[in-house]
Chains A and B, each alone.
Chain A
Amino acid sequence: MLVGHQPKDFLLAVSGLTVSFDGFKAVNDLSFYVEENEIRVIIGPNGAGKTTVLDLICGKTKATSGSIQFRGKELTKMRENEIVQTGVGRKFQTPSVFEDLTVFENLEISFPRGRTVFGSLTFQRDQPVKDRVEEVAEMIFLKDKLSTYADELSHGQKQWLEIGMLLIQDPDLLMLDEPVAGMSVSERAKTAELLNRIIKNRSVLVIEHDMKFVEDIAHKVTVLHQGQILSEGTMEKVKNDPKVIEVYLGH
C-alpha cells in the first residue's frame, strides 16, 4: 500500500491499525481502504478480529496505534458520539433497541436533530420528523407497528428496527455486524432486499458468515485471519485463493 499519499476518493482509510489487549494483538497492523458507495464485506474465522475492527472504527475500542481516517478526519481521537455525527453508523451483533420505548420513539431518538441536552429538551415532534420516521418504518417493514413497544417485536423485527435507527441517521458509512444472524429464511430474504435498497448512496461495511448473502451484496471482500488481512478482492478472487480455502472456506 502507498504510504503518505492516498487518492482523495477513499471514504475510509484504515492504516497500520493495531490494538492489543494485554499483549494479545487482536488487530495487527491492519490497512484497508473503502471507497464511496462501496459495499465491503469482512469475512473470516471466529476470533479473526472482525468485530474488533468495527469497534475501533466506531470508537468503542481505542486503538493502540495506527490511524483511521474518515473523509480526512482522524476518528481515533474522537468520542463515539462525535464519530456518529461525522457520519458513521454502527449496528451491533445482538439487536440493541430500546425495549421500553415504542418503535416510533426508537426511530425518533435516532433522528439527527436535538442531540444536546438542551436540544433534546426543546425538540419538537414536527412534520419532517413524523414523515421521516414513517418513511423509514415503511422501509423496515414496521409501518403498522409504530406504536408497538420494541420488547414485543420478534428477533428479526428488532434487527430491522436497529437497521432503521441507523438509516434515519443517514450515515455515509454504515457498519453492520452480522445483520442476518438468527433470522428465519423469509426474514433473511427480506433483509437482503432491505439492505440492497439502503446501500444506495452510501458505503457499507458488513461482517457476515452467510456466504450466499455475501455473494449477493459484496463489491469487494476482505478476509481477516488472526487480526491481519489474509486476502482481499472480488468474491471470485477470494473464493479461489488457496490461503482462504485453507483457513476459512475449506471446511
Chain B
Amino acid sequence: MIINSRFFNRSELTGFIVLAAVLFVILPLSLDVFRLNLVAKYLTYAFVALGLVLCWGYGGILSLGQGVFFGLGGYCMAMFLKLEASSVENTKIQSTPGIPDFMDWNQITSLPLFWQPFHSLTFTILAIILVPGLFALIIGTAMFKRRVGGTYFAIITQAVAAILTILIVGQQGYTGGINGMTDLRTLKGWDIRPDHAKVILYFVEVVLLFACIGIAQFIRLTKLGRILVAMREQEDRVRFSGYSVANFKIFAFCMAAIFAAIGGAMFALNVGFMSPSFVGIVPSIEMVIYTAVGGRTSIFGAIWGAILVNFAKTSLSESFPQLWLFGLGALFIAVVLAFPNGLSGLWADYVQPRIDRLFASRKAKAGWTDNSVADGAPAE
C-alpha cells in the first residue's frame, strides 16, 4: 500500500526512534510506577493531539471540542469497568444491589437500558470506536455539507462540548454527575489498580499509540493526506478538481474523534476514573494547545507537545497552582506569535540542520555515531 517511498523519511525516522526509545525503554526504566502512571495519563492526550494533527494541522479544521470524543471514549470504557465493579456482592449494602453506586444514591432502582450492553467487553470496545465516530460523522455531515467551516465550526464544537458537559452533570443518576465514574476496579476480573497492572497498562497504551501513529502516517502518505493539505489552502480548487470537499473533512474529523476516543478509553483504564472535567470547553482548548505547542503539522511534534505540556502542568501546579493557567495561556500566545510551527518547527529550523551538519562532517571522517537519539528532545 505504501507508495513508492519509505514509510518514514530520515527526520521522521529519527523522531520515531527517539519516541520509541523514550517511551518503551528510558521512561519505564527510570521512573517509579507513580510517575510512569502520570506519563500514561499524559499519553492519553497524545492520542487527541495525533487526531488534531490530521484534522487541524493537515485538514485545517480547527475543532475546539475534542474533549467530547475523549469523553465519549472514556465514558464507554468507564461504564464497562463500573458495571464490573458493581457486582451484587460488591454492592450488597445498597438498597438496590448490582447497579452502580451513584445510581443507587439517585434513587434509581434498575439498570437503565442503555447501560445493559456495556456488560460485554466486545461491545464496549466497538462502542469506544463507533459512538464517537458516528457522533463526529453526524456533526461533520451537518456542518461540512452546509459549508460551515473555520471559526464557525470551531465555535459549534465548543458549544457541543459545553452541552455534553451540562448533560453529564445534569443526568447524575445515569452518568455519575460532576463526580464522574469513580472506583473502577477490574477488567474481566483482572485488577487494574496494583502497580504491576499499571505498568502493563502503560505498555498497552504505548503500543496502541504507535499503532495510531502508524495509521496517521499511512493516511498522511496517501493521496488523501495530500488532498487534506490542498484543502487547507485552496478549498475551491479541490472542489473544482472533482472532489467532494465535505466528505474529506468528515473523514478527517471522524479519524480525529476516534483517536481522541481511544485516548479517553485509555485514560479511564490508566487513571481509574472518568469525569466531566475532561469533556468540557477548557480541556478541549488545552488539547488544542498541546498540539499547537508541539507543532500541529508534525505527528511526533504533537505527541511531544502533549507529553511536555502535561509534564509542565503537573510540575508547575504542584508548586504554583494559581500560576499554571496563566502559564498555559502565555505559552499559547507565544506559540502563535513566535513559533507557529511549535516545537517541531523549532527543531526543524534550528536543531535538525545542526545534526545534518554533524552527520555530514562525521560521515566524512568515519562511520556514524548517533547524537540525535541521546538528546531526547522533541523530534519532528
Contact = CB atoms under 8 A, between A and B. Distances in A.
B239 A80 contact: yes
Interface stretch (B224-232, B275-283, B345-353): B224-232
Given A122-B1, A123-B222, A81 B239 contact: yes
A122 to B, nearest CB: 7
B244 A79 contact: yes
A250 to B, nearest CB: 35
A120 B223 contact: yes
B242 A101 contact: no
A52 to B, nearest CB: 15
A210 interface: no
Interface stretch (A22-30, A40-48, A103-111): A103-111
A97 B354 CA distance: 33
B9 interface: no
A109 B230 CA distance: 9
Interface stretch (A13-21, A84-92, A187-195, A238-246): A84-92
Given A105-B226, A109-B223, A124-B3, A98 B234 contact: yes
B244 A114 contact: no
B24 to A, nearest CB: 29
A101 B224 contact: no
A79 B243 CA distance: 10
B242 A84 contact: yes
Nearest to B254: A117
B106 interface: no
Nearest to A86: B242
Interface string A124-144: 110000000000000000000
B224 A169 contact: no
Nearest to A175: B240
Contacts of A81: 239-240, 242-245
A215 interface: no
Interface residues of B, number: 27
B137 to A, nearest CB: 12
A165 B4 CA distance: 22
A85 B233 CA distance: 22
Contacts of A97: 234, 237
A58 interface: yes
Contacts of A117: 224, 247-248, 251
B234 A125 contact: no
A109 B1 CA distance: 18
Given A84-B242, A115-B242, A109 B227 contact: yes
Contacts of B243: 81, 115, 120
Given A81-B239, A98-B230, A101-B226, 4 more contacts: A60-B240, A98-B234, A108-B226, A122-B222
28 contacts: A58-B240, A60-B236, A60-B240, A81-B240, A90-B240, A96-B234, A96-B237, A97-B237, A98-B230, A98-B233, A98-B234, A100-B232, A105-B226, A109-B227, A110-B241, A110-B242, A112-B242, A115-B244, A117-B247, A117-B248, A117-B251, A121-B222, A121-B223, A122-B1, A123-B222, A124-B3, A125-B3, A162-B237
